[in-house]
A and B are shown apart, each in its own frame.
Chain A
Amino acid sequence: MSFLPETRRLFDDLADTAFSDLKAGEALSLQLSAEDQTYVRFNDSNVRQATAVLQRNLALTFQWAGRQVTFTFDLSGHLDHDRALLRSWLERARREARTLPEDPFAVPLQDHGTSEHEHSGTEPDAAAAVKAIARVTQGTDFTGLLAAGPQVRAVRNSAGLNHWFSTASLWVDYSLFTTNASGDNKAVKGRFWGPAWDEDRFQAVLAADKARLAFLKRPARPIAPGEYRVYFAPAAVAELIAMFSWGALSYRAYRDGNCPLKRLIQDEVGLSEQFTLKENFCLALTPRFNSLGELPPVELMLIEKGQLKNLLVSSRSAKQYGVPSNAADPSGWFGEHLRAPELMAGNLPETEVLNCLGTGLYVGNLHYLNWSDVQAARVTGMTRYACFWVENGEIAAPINDLRFDDSLYRLFGSALEALTRESPIHPAIDTYHCRALGGSKIPGALVGTFRFTL
């Protein structure tokens, strides 16, 4: 048997046993995150380090009399062993719950229905990908990571909820480096992804990136700090939209006073009419159910034409503050966060971007963003990869990287001139603990003025 059916049978057997072991007044949720991945790092078109990871991570959330504990552990894959361990954890959970004070905002586990997305067909061939990448990237300075293999997310609870999601795919996230006429290192960022390895398609993606790299070989133009017209390519806008997951649309962060978009929420400022952001699970990059097995709406409008429509509200926040839940996922660093963001596309054809920019900066990517003043929604960060000085609608020269520090209110408000008509998918490439699922759909943005400080 292969990884996916074995994992499903194990999870179901464990859940059936654990639920039947429960006593009156007890409730239990089991969440599974599992993967069988091959990760291969490349540097200079050669293999630096290859790692295979087979892991099945089970989290149990136990409730009794308004108390809640969560235990997480690695499954061995052997039913007898894992069942004994789960029973031991369950016993521990019972005893811990008794010593804790009541948690008035713990949300009783409920049956949020059943869903199933089962991967069918073959799994991506990592070995073929490694050989082909090493061969076809020879002669370029190619650095990056291949991740390939099946992934699982599943939740069941003792109230009857049962969601299963399995998939198998690969991506290659990479950089192509060169040195320009000034002797500076320059690079473009590329990404190939799909259900299977496809050498022809990879070659085509790589060829397009090599063509972009040619522009970076010209001497760099020094750019002084100051305000400039800027076109942000979709990958750069995706970095800025990622900041909306750092508490900016979290109902809990808003009530805690730590919400960067407080003034938007309170109607003191608006964003541009062109700015419409929603959660859209039709993107189908991630299961719709959250870590508790709750189902958020297929589409949830967050900001429409610059006005706030909804914040992300978890069932816990809903209980605590007496507002309706939209099944936002409360897990992660910043609590309620975007899982399937789509920034609605605009009218600017990609072919017109340089013309409309006229004279200013073309920013391909951004790096290492952080709030510089939460209350003012001010973000600092760096330009990275393919960034150019554009003069009269033509690329004049690459630039050396600049630090910016400006407010999202200005960037996506008064300064936003246009969004591109084309809006690519940006698959999630995080691999902390395990390979992430998800992604976003984000267009490019033309901005009348933007502040660079260093």
Chain B
Amino acid sequence: MSLPVNFYPELPAFDIHRALAWVQAEADWIGLRFVQEQTYRRTVRNHLPEDNAITLERGVMAEARVDGHIAYAGTSDLSQQGLVQAARRAAYLARICAPHALFPFTEGHRPPAHGRFVSTRRLGFDRLTLAELTDQLIRASRSLKVSDKIVSTAAEATLVESTVHYVSSSGADIEQQWWLVSSHCAATAQDGTETQQRSLNGPAARCRQAGLEFFDFSALHAECERAGREALELLDAENCPDETLDLILAPDQMLLQIHESIGHPLELDRILGDERNYAGWSFVKPDDFGRLRYGSPLLNVTFDPTVAGEFASYAFDDCGNPATREYLIRDGVLLRGLGSLESQSRLGIAGVANFRSAGWNRAPIDRMANINLEPGTSSLAEMIASVERGVYMQSNRSWSIDDYRNKFQFGCEYARRIEQGRLSDVLKNPNYRGMTVPFWNALKQVGCRDERELFGTPYCGKGEPNQLIRVGHAAPPCLFAGIDVFGGGS
């Protein structure tokens, strides 16, 4: 049987324009965001199928503006009665909150934009049967087990079909559709008291907007064998040394470094204090835009929702703002924040189209989307050749940073020592720590376009109520000078 679920007799197409007609008299302004998302999750553990799960999310978030305040009500009851109730509830919430509102809403916060977006894919999800996908994951799991010392293996695939249709009483009409794919494969090796894990690029980092062309199964099985062998190498490896050394980070760790120490601190809702009770504030001040030397002149970072196939590409955010590529940091200088129209008007500074929600049951907030470190001119080989003593770290395994996004500590799965311009021993338990701005100012070389890789994560957590959202991060390998690295042990 084919992977996608086809049950349109039970779920007829939702006519959002008719729904808007039912509710648009309920407030000064009404917006409706319909979300339908099907997630197929298939996991195999130790060569046996484990999770065979499908999740269908289907609902509408109604927004109502009353007395200059916008409030939200989400419902999965898509009948006329259900939608009218939701619109009335949003209007009621807006009315009782308006006297205590933090700032006034204007028509400009919800542009009447029109448009469509369809993510890129070559092969539809119906090109593979469920039995075939399960079989390929079982084979990947077997490929990971290169020795009896591999004590457990996991191979997982997640496929998502998502549709969002947004309309408003002021004329917005935006329909966007995505096909999203992610995979995770990992091997755990054990020998005596030593245990080590190696995966393909770290937890769930392999994620793209794509169809089934994402899975090149013969390449995947070869990569799984390599991951299994590297897990064995780690069993016999030395601990990462505890000293200040040059550090090269692979793209699958750059993703985390960009995410935690550039993406989050630049979110304007954090800078405005909205997140102070949960995710935290930011060391970045409104005055820093246009002035702060965030990193060395080699640091160029963009908000780029236009990269075909990257995990968080789109044409409009959830308030109808058209999404364009913008430099956040250029030649090391901080230029622009990650803030939606609401945050931009509150702060009076430039932002981006990043008002995003995790689903029909959550209101949009300022989020990352694709936050990319733009390529430079070095190659990885040149970087390694230029290092006298250093460490090359790959694939994230541990992450922690303070609530102002200054003091971070990150760990990786696998590292190699660099001596006299050459890669030498494998090192286990590689960790490093630093402070955000000094760290980015220690950026000494940036890899070239050919070595840039696209990763992301489906699990960026933030917001009250809490939301998990998809983000993409593309980066080449990068070299940092004089970083505190250290290993494991008590």
Task: Tell me, yes or no, whether A binds B.
Answer: yes
Interface on A for B, CB 8 Å cutoff?
Answer: 37-41, 43-44, 46-56, 67-78, 81, 84-85, 88-89, 92, 95-96, 99-101, 103-105, 127, 130-131, 134, 143-145, 147, 173-175, 177, 185, 187, 189, 255-258, 262-263, 367-378, 380-382, 384, 401, 403, 405, 407, 409-410, 430-433, 435, 453-454
Contacts of B431 in A (CB 8 A): 372-373
Contact B433–A47 (Cβ < 8 Å)? no
Contact A50–B93 (Cβ < 8 Å)? yes
Contact B490–A145 (Cβ < 8 Å)? no
A10 to chain B, nearest CB (A): 11
B255 to chain A, nearest CB (A): 16
Bound complex: CA A81 to CA B431 (Å): 53
Of A52, A84, A131, which one neighbours B93 at CB under 8 angstroms? A52
Of A99, A367, A378, which one neighbours B129 at CB under 8 angstroms? A99
For residue B63, which residue of chain A has the nearest CB? A51
Per-position 1/0 for B263-291, Cβ under 8 A of A: 00000000011101110110000000000
Contacts of B365 in A (CB 8 A): 49
Contact A48–B90 (Cβ < 8 Å)? no
Contacts of B49 in A (CB 8 A): 100-101, 103
18 additional A-B pairs beyond A54-B76, A380-B398, beta carbons within 8 Å, are A39-B465, A44-B102, A46-B101, A49-B72, A50-B71, A52-B86, A67-B52, A70-B52, A71-B54, A76-B76, A88-B9, A101-B49, A103-B48, A147-B465, A257-B188, A258-B197, A384-B402, A401-B404
**Residues in B145-163 with C-beta less than 8 Å from chain A:** 151-152
Per-position 1/0 for B64-85, Cβ under 8 A of A: 0000010111111111001000
Contact A368–B76 (Cβ < 8 Å)? no
Q: Which of B1, B48, B274, B361 has the most CB atoms of chain A within a 10 A radius of its CB?
A: B361
Contact B274–A104 (Cβ < 8 Å)? no
For residue B362, which residue of chain A has the nearest CB? A51
Contacts of B403 in A (CB 8 A): 367-368, 382, 384, 401
Contact B56–A73 (Cβ < 8 Å)? yes
Given contacts A101-B134, A373-B489, A430-B466, contact A48 B401 (CB under 8 A): no
Q: Is B411 an interface residue (CB 8 A)?
A: yes
27 contacts between A and B (CB under 8 A): A50-B71, A50-B97, A51-B363, A53-B361, A55-B361, A70-B52, A77-B82, A78-B77, A103-B48, A104-B48, A175-B276, A177-B273, A185-B281, A256-B188, A257-B151, A263-B193, A367-B280, A371-B411, A372-B411, A373-B487, A373-B488, A374-B195, A384-B402, A401-B403, A401-B407, A431-B464, A454-B433
Top 7 A-B pairs, shortest CB-CB distance: A373-B488, A431-B465, A134-B100, A74-B76, A145-B464, A46-B102, A73-B56
Of A77, A145, A382, which one neighbours B278 at CB under 8 angstroms? A145
Contact B276–A99 (Cβ < 8 Å)? no
Contacts of A50 in B (CB 8 A): 71-72, 93-94, 97
Bound complex: CA A82 to CA B73 (Å): 21
Q: Is B237 an interface residue (CB 8 A)?
A: no
A443 to chain B, nearest CB (A): 24
For residue B57, which residue of chain A has the nearest CB? A74
Contacts of B76 in A (CB 8 A): 54-56, 74-77
A381 to chain B, nearest CB (A): 6
Contacts of B277 in A (CB 8 A): 143-145, 173-175, 189
Bound complex: CA A411 to CA B178 (Å): 47
Q: Which of B50, B51, B77 has the most CB atoms of chain A within a 10 A radius of its CB?
A: B77
Contact A454–B407 (Cβ < 8 Å)? yes
Contact A403–B273 (Cβ < 8 Å)? no
A125 to chain B, nearest CB (A): 11
Bound complex: CA A104 to CA B361 (Å): 37
Contact A177–B53 (Cβ < 8 Å)? no
B interface, size bucket: 35 or more
For residue A137, which residue of chain B has the nearest CB? B100
Q: Is B13 an interface residue (CB 8 A)?
A: no
Bound complex: CA A215 to CA B435 (Å): 27
Given contacts A147-B465, A372-B398, A453-B433, contact A47 B102 (CB under 8 A): yes
Contacts of A378 in B (CB 8 A): 488-490
Contacts of A255 in B (CB 8 A): 152
Contacts of A435 in B (CB 8 A): 465
Bound complex: CA A53 to CA B277 (Å): 21
Of A53, A96, A100, A367, which one neighbours B402 at CB under 8 angstroms? A367
Given contacts A96-B130, A100-B134, contact A375 B363 (CB under 8 A): no
Q: Is B399 an interface residue (CB 8 A)?
A: yes
Contact B5–A54 (Cβ < 8 Å)? no
Q: Is B345 an interface residue (CB 8 A)?
A: no
Of B58, B281, B489, which one neighbours A73 at CB under 8 angstroms? B58
Contacts of B219 in A (CB 8 A): none
A245 to chain B, nearest CB (A): 16
Contacts of B411 in A (CB 8 A): 370-373
